Every structure is written in structure tokens, then in C-alpha cells.
Chains A and B, each alone.
Chain A
């Protein structure tokens, strides 16, 4: 495969905060925003506020788990307006190529700098399994389409754009599910299609990630793309069991579940956070990992504590946050008293 120069020496893609942090060599932190089941913008701001202080970009999910929530583009519109750095997640499940390309232009016009191209969880796991699957493009085709729009300034059809969108292009990777030998080569394919950064699926198995990264380094891919490892706190043993059986693509080894099972119920959430912190500390040592992506489903308030305890402070808070955010968000004690 014809690999170009290292990604850090390539021209700036969109100039957003996440890109600048990664290019500067600092360890990046992104976090996932849980899109509300609500038409109230305050709920988006409330969820984002606790994240924005501790991370370089906030991912706005696109119907995660095939459940219906506020749209990714809606969340991005609200958040970019309030000065947050967002990652616009686009899944191929719900929209065809016409709708997606239109959304990319709309997102760029609103100031979105980062795009995450996903295949998307299947409709059968969500709250509306009767829905039609679209999958007109797959994640790699979507990635390349976005790159064509950015670099060549045309739609997929070849029709010219008067102003091309500027995006820092992201893709997902899952090193923790079969076919294991293919996963690093599939990453190479995503890099070839245009990925500038990668956010992985939840990592609960560091040895597996190490194996994967060894192969990635052998292929020279860690120089071609910024890799952020996905992490997240497990709230309880029950939550761990739910995730490993019901959430597609999440691999949780038995040791982790047993560790939670041995902990008294009242302290399981704390133990889950401790596991997450340990994961981050171990992951950070792996050569080629340039950041972490924290996915704390319905536990946004835990993210700050995890980032702090993992030794990733001090971080410069996102600028321009935020005239429209509500001021009455309750702040936990430890947050106020931390240095």
C-alpha cells in the first residue's frame, strides 16, 4: 500500500481543537455526549457542560444502539453555537448518500470540525426493530466520500461545491472482536480511505489492545493516523452483563465482571470507575495510542473524576463555554474541591 507522509506533517485539515491537540503531541481526551430524548436544548447543554471542561471534543452520537434520540446534527448545531468543539457522528444505518452529503455540508456550515464515520448498530438491537435498514454507503465509502468533498471540492457525483467542507476525518475501530488478524489491515483500509483519527470501541482487555497495536505499529499505521482508545466506567455487574450480551461489539473479559461481582453492590460504581482509571493508565503506556475516548453512558458526571484520577489534568477548558448553558447545573462536592 502506498502510504504518504506521517499524519502529523500533513496540512491542517480543519484546525479544530482536537486536531491541534493531537498534532501538538499532547494526550487527547474526547467524551461521548448522551443525546437526550427531549426537544429541550437545556438538556443538551446540561449533559455537555460537565464534559466540556475536561475534554478536547464532545462526540454527538447518531442514534447509538439504534435507539431514537435527538439527532447528532441537532446536538452539534446547539453545541457549536455555544462554543463547544464537537465530533459529528454519522452512521450509515439511517440515511442514504444524498442525505448524508447534505448533512456534511450543513454541519460544516455550522462550524463542526470533526466527523466520525460509522457503519452503525443494526436496527434490530434498538427500540424500533421494524425500521428499514439503509446502509446505502458503508463506513469506508462514507469516509472516502467525505474526503472527496473536502479535498476535491465535489460531491460524490462529481458536481462542484462552491465552498468545500473542512473536516478532521475520523473512523471507528474494534480490535476486540473477530476476525482479529484482519482488524489491523482493516484499519489500513480506513487510513487509505481518508481517516485522520480513530476512536476505538470500549477497551476492557488491554492485552488484546497491545497485540493489535503491535501489528498496527508493524504496518506503520500509528504514524498515519491518530488513535484514541475507547474507555468507559461500568456502573455495576448488572450493567457489565447487559453490555457484554446486548450491546453489539463490546467485549468484556470474565475477570472484569468477576471483579465487579466480588464488590458489594453499593461500591460497584466506584469499582467500575477504578477499573476505568486503571485502563486509561495502562492504555497510555502503549506506543501509538494518542488519546482516550470516554464513553460514560448516562454517567457524564463521572467523566471528570475519571480523567482527573487517571492523571490527565491539568487540561485547558474549552474556550467560549458558554453563554447559553444553564447555570443551575448541580455541581458535586468533589468537583469543587479538586485542585
Chain B
């Protein structure tokens, strides 16, 4: 199988699930609430086993539904329940300018643009629809192949490079320490 075919391939049933983002949104919310409670117990028993178990189950479940790439910083709920890492350019902030007129991908003509799908699905979401417009920070490549759920609870997922958080809102900024 060529790379391009791998990217375009979707597991049976997964498209149906993703096309019901409202259901996935509720599933995400309840799983998060449950995991926040259960995780301390699991961690108490064995941190190493918990990590292995979570990695295995995320790879399996999210791999099936979302074609998950195990980036370890899951933002599915902010991207219309469509994995941004399946975009061949791995963009996290929306579509590039190369989307074809029919809405397919610049790189893989037979695949629908990940971000066109993300947009359509986000329109059907309630709690997280607006999250599509958040500026997503650069990926932390050190978290590749770790459990996104554990990173979420441990707060590793929201850690950004320290300069990133310094950006002031647009318009409030001037040149640092300069007088015009």
C-alpha cells in the first residue's frame, strides 16, 4: 500500500461515527469526567502499566475511528472530531490554500480534505463547535506515542513553549521596548 493510499483509507464504520460528531462530543465529555476520577487509582496501582494500557487502548480505539497518529496532544474535540494529524501537512490550525475545487486534498486527490470535513462536522457540534477558531500551539514532538488522556490529566497536553503564552491580544502589541 502506498503512503497516499494509507492516508485515504478509512476503517469500516468509522466514517459513520465521525459523521455523528454530536454523539462523539458527548462520549468525549463523559469519558473525560470518568477518566479524571479513575486515573489516580490506576496510577496508584502502577503508573507504567497505566501508560501501557492507555497507549494500547487509544491506539486501538482512536486508531479505528479517527486514524489516530498518536501525537499525544489530542485536539479532536476542537477540530470537528476529525484528526488534524491525518492532514498530509499535519496542519493544526485549519486548511491550507491548496484545497481542490471539489473539496479534496491537494496532496491526495482521492481523499476529502481533512479540514473541509472538520468544518462540516464542527457545524453539527454544540459544546466545542467554536473551538475550531482557537489558535492551536505548535506540536510538542516529544509527546509522540504517549497517551493523550494521561497527558491531558497530567497537564502536559496544555504545556506550550514558554514564549508562546507571552503573545498579547492583537492590537495591544507594540514593538518590544521601543519608542517610535
Verify that A and B bind, or say they do not: yes
What's the nearest-Cβ distance from chain B to residue A90, in Å?
Answer: 15
Q: Which residues of B contact A174 (CB under 8 A)?
A: 97, 99
A201→B97 CA distance, assembly (Å): 8
Q: Which residues of B contact A336 (CB under 8 A)?
A: none
What's the nearest-Cβ distance from chain B to residue A183, in Å?
Answer: 9
A321 interface residue (CB < 8 Å to B): no
Q: Which of B16-24, B58-66, B70-78, B172-180 contacts A (4 or more CB under 8 A)?
A: B172-180
- Tell me the B22-39 residues at the A interface (CB within 8 Å): none
What is the interface of chain B mostly: helix, strand, loop, or mixed?
loop
What is the interface of chain A mostly: helix, strand, loop, or mixed?
loop
A67 interface residue (CB < 8 Å to B): no
Whether the pair B135, A179 counts as a contact (CB closer than 8 A) is: no
Of B91, B100, B107, B170, most A-chain CB atoms within 10 Å = B170
Interface string of B69-94 (1 = CB under 8 A from A): 00000000000000000001111111
Number of A-B contacts (CB under 8 A): 164
Whether the pair A173, B172 counts as a contact (CB closer than 8 A) is: no
Q: Count of A residues near B, CB < 8 Å?
A: 64
Q: Which residues of B contact A164 (CB under 8 A)?
A: 175-177
> B interface, how many residues as a size bin?
35 or more
Whether the pair B175, A13 counts as a contact (CB closer than 8 A) is: yes
Whether the pair B175, A121 counts as a contact (CB closer than 8 A) is: no
Whether the pair A158, B177 counts as a contact (CB closer than 8 A) is: no
A97 interface residue (CB < 8 Å to B): yes
Q: Which residues of B contact A320 (CB under 8 A)?
A: none
Task: List 21 contacting pairs A-B, 8 Å CB cutoff, sorted by A.
Answer: A3-B171, A5-B171, A10-B174, A97-B138, A122-B107, A136-B139, A136-B141, A141-B137, A145-B163, A145-B164, A148-B163, A149-B163, A151-B176, A152-B163, A153-B177, A157-B162, A174-B99, A177-B101, A179-B103, A179-B116, A249-B96
Chain A residues proximal to chain B, CB less than 8 Å: 1-5, 10-13, 92-93, 97, 119-122, 124-125, 133, 135-141, 144-145, 147-159, 164, 166, 172-174, 177-179, 181-182, 185-186, 188-189, 191-194, 201, 224, 248-249, 251
Chain B residues proximal to chain A, CB less than 8 Å: 88-101, 103, 106-107, 113, 115-116, 119-120, 133, 135-139, 141, 161-164, 166-178, 180
